[in-house]
Amino acid sequence: MADLQAIVDEIHDKLTPRLGEGKVADYIPQLAHIDPRKFGMAVIDVDGQVFKAGDADVPFSIQSISKVFTLTLALGKHGETTWNRVGREPSGSAFNSIVQLEHEEGKPRNPFINAGAIAVSDLVLAGHTPREAIGEIVRFVRYLADDETIAIDPDVAKSEQATGYRNFALANFMRSFGKLTHPVEHVLGVYFHHCALAMTCTQLARSGLFLAASGRNPLTGHTVVSRQRARRINALMLTCGHYDGSGDFAYRVGLPGKSGVGGGILAVAPGKASVAVWSPGLNHNGNSLLGSLALEMLAMRTGWSVFGQ
């Protein structure tokens, strides 16, 4: 096995001269304040060994990466009927696009674009008040990462609530097609709060480990989902996790991954490791520029890929 710590250090060193590249998301005002030169990386292999570099223990806003956890929860609550409410196809559109929703009568293409994640929040809300549903999501992520300190950043949630005009448009549009069962304010309350979860790369890599290890978290011994469900969530991350940049991410990295506009990416090397990177500057698709590069370098150096050796 390659010396993973040496590889992670090398990636960090190679990218250091480029820190600050890309554009920090500023449409959520609270995210605009983040130092663009931050960079963190954590790799946790399926034996539980941790390899990290840079700001791997600095919390950041995980944003859309949280959609992996809410999808996992929704599948646990609703099983395959989840797919009556949201599709499983790549969108080829931006994460906040509204165009397909009209053609497809309010059923979003996949659970990772904003519209799809809003539908998933509606499913997680079933039988709960918004406060209970948010509590359930936080408890679930703490359980996955085996870390009780993980919390939502209330200022990020408020900031997005105050400026989330697009998401209100998407949710109202879906509701007009009868595709949301709870009030728009409740659904978006859940959505904005889970996007505002603050986590470090180390915590994030721990929380994704079940996807690298056939549904079971090897650190805690907890079986989170079945082997088949872990494979399927990975398939969705691969095909839809980077929006209209998903094809390019598959080409360059070759691993299931989910990005967030906070600059984080969670990637899964099945049978090998869970990886989290964070660099706030984004590319034109809204995915971390240096984070994608770091993962490309890691895949190249380790040979990890779902497409072959």
Give the length of the chain.
Answer: 309
Structure tokens at 106: 């309010």
Task: In whole angstroms, give the CA distance from residue 264 to residue 146.
Answer: 20
Active site residue 187: no
Q: Is 96 in the site for ligand DON (CB under 6 A)?
A: yes
Candidates 64, 70, 82, 214; binder of ligand DON (CB under 6 A) is 64
Sign of CA dihedral 166, 287, 41, 238: positive
Candidates 124, 152, 195, 297; binder of ligand DON (CB under 6 A) is 195
Q: Catalytic residue among 66, 97, 179, 243, which?
A: 243
Candidates 286, 289, 295, 304; binder of ligand DON (CB under 6 A) is 286
Active site residue 243: yes
- Best CA proximity match to 122, nearest among 69, 63, 71, 177: 71
**Shortest spacing between CB 112 and ligand DON, in angstroms:** 8
Sign of CA dihedral 127, 132, 138, 142: negative
Contact, 209 vs 218, CB < 8 A? yes
Active site residue 14: no
User: What is the total count of residues that contact ligand DON (CB under 6 A)?
Assistant: 13
Q: Is 283 in the site for ligand DON (CB under 6 A)?
A: no
Active site residue 67: yes
Q: Is 95 in the site for ligand DON (CB under 6 A)?
A: yes
Shorter beta-carbon distance to ligand DON: residue 64 or 91:
64
- Best CA proximity match to 212, nearest among 303, 273, 299: 273
What residues between 214 and 273 interact with ligand DON by CB under 6 A? 259-261
With a CB cutoff of 8 Å and minimum separation 6, the contacts of 283 are: 22, 245, 289, 292
Bridge-partner residues for 278, per DSSP?
A: 40, 264
Q: Is 82 in the site for ligand DON (CB under 6 A)?
A: no
Task: In whole angstroms, give the CA distance from residue 305 to residue 302.
Answer: 9
Contact, 241 vs 112, CB < 8 A? yes
Candidates 4, 19, 63, 184; binder of ligand DON (CB under 6 A) is 63
Q: Is 97 in the site for ligand DON (CB under 6 A)?
A: no
Q: What is the dihedral of CA 265, 276, 142, 129, to 10 degrees?
A: 0
Q: Catalytic residue among 64, 121, 259, 274, which?
A: 64
Structure tokens at 253: 């990295």
Q: Which residue is nearest to ligand DON (CB)?
A: 64
Q: Is 167 in the site for ligand DON (CB under 6 A)?
A: yes
**Shortest spacing between CB 67 and ligand DON, in angstroms:** 8
Q: Is 163 in the site for ligand DON (CB under 6 A)?
A: no
Active site residue 143: no
Binding site for ligand DON (CB under 6 A): 63-64, 95-96, 114, 160, 167, 195, 259-261, 286-287
Q: Point out the residues that are catalytic.
A: 64, 67, 191, 243, 261
